[in-house]
Amino acid sequence: MHLSLTKTPVVTLSRSRSEDWRWWVTVFDDVTDDATPGWRLPVCDDFTDGGRAFTAAVVGLGPAFLMTLEGRRSAVAGTITVGLVTPNSSEENVLLIKKGDAIPLSSGVVSWWFNGGDTDAAIVFLGETSKALVPGQFTYFCVSGVLGLLAGFQSDFVAKTFGLDQKESENLVSGQQGALLVKLDNGITFPEPSKGTKDKLYATIDDPLGEVVVKGGGVINSLTEKNLSMLGEIDLSAKFVKLEGNAVLAPSYVADGSVQICYVCKGGGRIKVVGSEGKPALDSKVEEGDLFIVLQFFATLEIADENGMEVFSVVTSSKPGFEQLAGNTSVWKALSPVVLQAALNVTPKSEQHFKSKNLKSIIIVPPTM
């Protein structure tokens, strides 16, 4: 299921914490409420890989305000105003994110999220939570409201701390009766976006002029420590693959042993993942809203259906090294002829023919005409 909020102004105030909360937030196309048993990503879901845990959440926001702490988020639909306050800072950075933008959030950052537009908006949260307060779960520490930190202290302690009288203190502690979602009055204006935050605190990952562009095939973009330096602080990166109808993303794996958390944000197709001992770990049709995890050194191939497919992935390394299993950068191109012949048990002629098929880049394969 998805949490969807209609066009009633809503505010969420929350704060989240974890020892190692690292997550992305990105905006994609519209998120629907259909459910696919066993695959549909619920409001919050947990996945484990041995001792590691990952959490994903999709939140639909009507004109709303959301405040959380730590992680990585992606806008899925609409535009959202975001406020960020880092630990021990008196400065608030305000961002305006739209479809295709991604925000990495490090541990301890307080954030609020507001949709002041006329249409619904949605964001997806992906992150590793193996060292969270409750491993495998996002933990929210609210700043205000009935779940807020202030609510846990008696009003007289709050009064002494802030120099308030008893009535002022009680209003501060118990005046807000909402929890994560709080309705706002119409006409409230939130701060304008801060200057100089693009490509510093967030970046656009859905860029048609991508790192890899194949005519009739698709586009690949990535955000790493190289082009968004703050990713080094949380040791995560992101990749966005947009495949045209019936195009294929050639098989690859992450050579440094990182894990990929992949979310299908639009369209659908087929995912094939091969693990150790040459056995398929996953061979399944996927559609918008599905999520899958690719473990260390597992190879993945993606095939879009006739309407195309878009996949947003978070990688548990700020500078991952993707190794292709086809093309001029693959191991097949590098191996000496005799080694390749022995490894594949083929004749010299077959080995030469196979190598001739790997002289060019093979990352996205357009559909055969």
Instruction: Say how far apart CA 311 and CA 206 lie, in whole Å.
Output: 10
pTM of the model as a whole: 0.78
The dihedrals phi and psi of 256, each to the nearest 5 degrees, come to -90, 5
Instruction: Say how far apart CA 148 and CA 189 lie, in whole Å.
Output: 23
Domain boundary (142, 171, 186) is at: 142
Predicted local distance difference test score (pLDDT) of residue 284: 94
Pair 106, 227 in one domain = no
Contact 363, 220 (CB under 8 A): yes
The boundaries of the domain holding residue 85 are: 10-142
The dihedrals phi and psi of 119, each to the nearest 5 degrees, come to -120, 160
Pair 124, 214 in one domain = no
Instruction: Say how far apart CA 36 and CA 160 lie, in whole Å.
Output: 53
What residues contact 87, with CB distance under 8 A and at least 6 apart?
108, 109
Domain boundary (142, 157, 183) is at: 142
Smallest Cα–Cα separation from 178: which of 49, 358, 338, 9?
9
Q: Is residue 160 part of a domain?
A: no
Q: Is residue 172 part of a domain?
A: no
Predicted local distance difference test score (pLDDT) of residue 73: 52
Pair 112, 213 in one domain = no
Q: What is the DSSP string of 86-150?
A: -TT----EEEEE-TTEEEEEEEEEEEEEE--SSS-EEEEEEEE-TTBSSTTS--B-BSSSTTBTG
Predicted local distance difference test score (pLDDT) of residue 22: 46
Instruction: Say how far apart CA 222 and CA 200 lie, in whole Å.
Output: 15
Predicted local distance difference test score (pLDDT) of residue 66: 32
The dihedrals phi and psi of 56, each to the nearest 5 degrees, come to -135, 145
Pair 131, 263 in one domain = no
Pair 35, 133 in one domain = yes
Instruction: Say how far apart CA 30 and CA 44 lie, in whole Å.
Output: 18
**278: left (phi > 0), else alpha (psi -120 to 50), else beta?**
left
Q: Is residue 2 part of a domain?
A: no
Q: Is residue 166 part of a domain?
A: no
Buried b / exposed e over 335-345, threshold 16 CB at 10 Å, is: beeeebbeeee
Distances in Å between the Cα of 163 and the Cα atoms of 60, 152, 171, 266, 280 are: 39, 18, 14, 52, 64
Smallest Cα–Cα separation from 150: which of 130, 170, 124, 127?
170
DSSP code of 349?
H
Q: Is residue 262 part of a domain?
A: yes
Pair 212, 93 in one domain = no
Instruction: Say how far apart CA 75 and CA 193 lie, in whole Å.
Output: 16
Pair 222, 138 in one domain = no
Predicted local distance difference test score (pLDDT) of residue 40: 29
Domains contained in the chain, number: 2
Pair 236, 134 in one domain = no
Q: Is residue 187 part of a domain?
A: no
Distances in Å between the Cα of 68 and the Cα atoms of 50, 82, 294 are: 28, 10, 27
Q: Is residue 42 part of a domain?
A: yes
Contact 86, 37 (CB under 8 A): no
Predicted local distance difference test score (pLDDT) of residue 50: 43
Could you tell me the CATH number of the domain that includes residue 108?
Answer: 2.60.120.10
pLDDT tens across the length of the chain (369 residues)? 233 323 333 333 333 333 344 445 555 444 333 333 223 233 334 444 444 444 444 444 333 333 333 344 555 566 788 888 888 888 999 999 888 888 888 877 888 888 777 777 777 877 777 777 777 777 777 777 888 888 888 888 999 999 999 999 998 888 888 777 776 777 778 889 999 998 899 888 888 888 999 999 999 999 999 988 888 888 889 999 999 999 999 999 999 999 998 989 899 999 999 998 888 999 999 999 898 999 999 999 999 999 999 999 989 899 999 999 999 999 999 999 999 999 999 999 999 999 999 999 999 999 985
Domain boundary (126, 142, 158) is at: 142
Q: How many CA atoms lie within 13 A of 68 on its CB side?
A: 24
Pair 344, 227 in one domain = yes
Q: How many CA atoms lie within 13 A of 247 on its CB side?
A: 24
Pair 112, 226 in one domain = no
Predicted local distance difference test score (pLDDT) of residue 42: 32
Pair 137, 219 in one domain = no
Smallest Cα–Cα separation from 352: which of 362, 344, 368, 250?
344
Q: Is residue 159 part of a domain?
A: no
